[in-house]
Amino acid sequence: YGEISLKDIDQVVKSSFPLCMRHLFEKLREDHHLKHGGRMQLGLFLKGVGLNLDDALAFWRAEFSKKVGLEKFEKEYAYNVRHSYGKEGKRTDYTPFSCQKIILSTPGAGDQHGCPYRHFSEENLRAALSRMGVNSRATEDVMNKVRNKHYQLACTLTFEAIHGMQCDAGINHPNQYFSDSQKIFQ
Ligand code: SF4
């Protein structure tokens, strides 16, 4: 897979984002804001799927400026976007988070990051799966994995239910979920 562009992003979110990233994306659109953990998790994922720096700045600016204003965005948030692309500070090229890292994260009050299979209530997870188009039988299989704390297997079953296809390798990285999905649609 190559680059994704901003004009396609809504469609790509629906077809190929894993639930953790879809949730962050929808919350950002709803609240025009995400706390630091959410900005890192979603921002590095978007970088990993090929959103270039200019598009990333435009993306975050469009949402945040609705909440905090353009000036505050440029002053307080744009630096961090450039930083995560390795364009500021120590110029470290940060890599997107793996499932393991996301599952082990500890979102606090008001945080939207984390893995929904691990961090959502059962009710919220069921509602989210239904919005993704997972049927009730597959949902029960997913919930079974969640109860046994097999979060990545739960995500793999979701992938299989949505794509109607086996995912033998299993899901171990949100960007792998994305690229495996894109391969199916191409
Ligand atoms: Fe995201 Fe991985 Fe959790 Fe799936 S298992 S929702 S890709 S963190």
CA dihedral sign of residues 80, 82, 86, 87: negative
Cβ atoms within 10 A of the Cβ of 146, count?
Answer: 20
**Three-class SS state of 38:** helix
Contacts of 133 (CB under 8 A, 6+ apart): 162
**Model-level pTM?**
0.96
**Whether 94 contacts 44, CB under 8 Å:** yes
**Which of 113, 159, 171 has the most ligand 1 atoms within 8 A of CB, as the residue to mutate?**
171
What is the 107 CA–ligand 1 centroid distance (Å)? 14
pLDDT digits (tens, 9 = 90+) for 43-87: 999 999 999 999 999 999 999 999 999 999 999 999 999 999 998
As for ligand 1, residues whose beta carbon falls within 6 Å of it are 18-20, 99, 102-103, 115-117, 151-152, 155, 171, 174, 177
For residue 138, give Cα distances in angstroms to 18, 97, 115, 122. 16, 27, 19, 15
Distances (CA, A) of 144 to 126, 152, 153: 12, 12, 10
Q: Name the strand (E) or helix (H) holding 111.
A: none
**Beta carbons within 8 Å of 35's beta carbon, 6+ residues apart:** 110, 111, 112, 113
In this prediction, the answer to ipTM > 0.95 reads: yes
**What whole-number distance in Å separates Cα of residue 146 and Cα of residue 98?**
18
Q: Is 1's pLDDT higher than 50?
A: no
Amino acid at residue number 126: R
Percent pLDDT > 90 in the chain is 90
Q: Residue 2: what pLDDT?
A: 60
Q: How large is the average pLDDT for residues 117-130?
A: 98
pLDDT at 14 exceeding the cut of 50? yes
Say whether pLDDT at 93 is over 80: no
**Which contacts of 119-127 are long-range, i.e. CB under 8 A and separated by 24 or more positions?**
122/146
